[in-house]
Structure 1
Amino acid sequence: MAIRNRIPFWQLEAFPVLLLQLAVSLLLAVPATLLLDAVAGYSVVLGGCIAWLPNAWFVRKAFMYQGARSVTAVIQSFWSGLAGKMILTAVLFALAFVVVQPLNVAGLFAGFVLVQLTGAASLLLMKGF
């Protein structure tokens, strides 16, 4: 029987990256609102949240176990986290297009892409390339 060593969510190494992504999502709304309008502002935040929430799901699921005795649990949680992330992203985009009116589509995708890039760039900077 495998010993499962659970790690609290806020103690995961990727947690600061999630906080940074959330901050970027909210901060991007300010120039979008000031330069364009309120619809662009909340569309950017919505796009950022569509990127952030599945990333938080993935981090929680994929990295909840550690240690050599938890290898099976680590692999299973990684794959379930990845599948959940993909499904959650698709569902959130579908909901955004169906429920949110009016919606600035360019702002939605800009927020999504910039939050995803923030996560990738911060991981590169943390590891020092």
Structure 2
Amino acid sequence: MVVKTPNKAPFHRTPAFPVLMLQLVVTLGVALVLWLFQGLVAGYSGLLGGLVALIPNSYFAFRVFRYSGARSARAIVGEFYSGEAGKLILTAVLFITVWLAVEPLNVAAVFGSYLAVLATGASALLIVRGFPKH
């Protein structure tokens, strides 16, 4: 029997939190720059692209960091797989929703912002390395 021990630290103290906050800053920054230099459509398209990356990443991080400790190893692995599957499904649903519900849309701004937020997540090791251990 696997004992699932909830993470005693609040979510904002997990190693994923600073990465997600940086992804939020990148999302807002890219959207602002696009809005200022290319107009309103590019701005909200960039915002939506960033959110398509950020929301599934947040879901994944929440799932994976719900448990901690050696006794929770199996639960953590299970959450990793189900969190990744949920992240992929959520990403697909969000992209489809954006394509079908938003018009006009700047496709380049959506993908550019999406990729910028993913690149921020890819550099997470550099961000988390400096994260204080409490």
The verdict on a shared fold, with TM-score over 0.5 as the criterion, is: yes
Question: Quick one: which of 75, 97, 101 aligns to 1:73?
Answer: 75
What is aligned with 1:6?
A: 6
Question: Quick one: which of 94, 99, 102 aligns to 1:100?
Answer: 102
Q: Give ranges in structure 1 of 5+ residues lacking alignment.
A: none
User: In 2, Cα distance between the equivalents of 1:116 and 1:82?
Assistant: 14
Q: Give ranges in structure 2 of 5+ residues lacking alignment.
A: none
Contact conserved, 2:34 with 2:43, CA < 8 A, in 1?
yes
SS at match of 1:66: coil
Q: Deviations over 1:35-93 (max 9, x none)?
A: 11100001001000000000000001112111111111111111110000000000000
TM-score when normalising by structure 2: 0.89
Question: Quick one: which of 30, 53, 68 aligns to 2:55?
Answer: 53
User: In 2, Cα distance between the equivalents of 1:27 and 1:12?
Assistant: 24
What is aligned with 1:109?
A: 111
Length, aligned pairs only: 128
TM-align CA RMSD: 1.4
Identity level (%): 48
User: In 2, Cα distance between the equivalents of 1:28 and 1:91?
Assistant: 22
TM-score when normalising by structure 1: 0.93
